[in-house]
Amino acid sequence: MSLMERREEQSYLTRKDRLREAFRLCQQNLEVFSQLMAKRWETKKFVSDMAFKMHPFLEGRRELARTFLEGLSRKQRERFIEAYLNLEEDQRKLLDTFARNYARYNRHWRVRIPPPEGLEVFIRTFHLKKTPTSLAFFAFDHPLERRRFYKIATIYNLPFNNLQPPGHPSAQECESVVSQA
């Protein structure tokens, strides 16, 4: 999907929180999701393109994204999708490219390439492998893209480090209970 200019082709879904709303409805209520998607031609085309057979080039891109997401644990996949939905459209395109490149380079290499300094937290947050992460990072054509991705990785993984499963105390709450005992 990032191949096309999404602001032109999918302008309705690039508006703030539209994609998040569609994703939420798809998970909770398919009937309401289908009603929402049936209202506009561009959303019908979006669902059709995502669900049905596409050009082999686009099919390959979709399969790389699917491979990346399937490589994450359920918890990490939810965190990644939540982070993705919180991004602006141009940031999503960078994350799309990173995910596809990570899936391409996620294989056994005879060399180890250490990740760029500062991406370690991002790697730990999403339980990614270091060499494919490094290769996907350096696959960006321009240094500006690398800087923008680095900014996304450092900014958007901070809130997710503190996510707790529902009903579980945070690390701070545990420390306060231990110190009181």
Q: What is the pLDDT of residues 109-147, one digit of tens each?
A: 899 989 888 888 889 888 899 999 999 999 998 999 999
Quick one: DSSP state of residue 150? H
Q: How many CB atoms lie within 10 A of CB 163?
A: 13
* Long-range Cβ contacts of 158-161 (<8 Å, 24+ apart): 158/121, 160/79, 160/82, 160/83, 160/125, 161/121, 161/125
Q: Which two tokens stand for residue 111?
A: 């060399």
Where does the pLDDT of residue 28 fall: very low under 50, low under 70, confident under 90, or very high at 90 and above? confident
Residue type, position 35, single letter: Q
pTM equals: 0.63
Cβ atoms of residues 104 and 64 within 8 Å: yes
Residue type, position 58, single letter: L
User: Measuring CA to CA, which residue among 30, 32, 41, 42 is closest to residue 5?
Assistant: 42
Residue positions counted in the chain: 181
Residue type, position 89, single letter: E
Predicted pLDDT of residue 167 = 41
Cα end-to-end span (Å), the chain = 54
What is the rounded distance in angstroms from the CA atom of residue 120 to the CA atom of residue 140? Answer: 18
Name the maximum alpha-carbon separation found in the chain: 63
Q: What is the pLDDT of residues 61-110, one digit of tens each?
A: 888 999 999 999 988 888 888 888 888 888 989 999 999 999 999 999 89
Cβ atoms of residues 123 and 115 within 8 Å: yes
Predicted pLDDT of residue 126 = 87
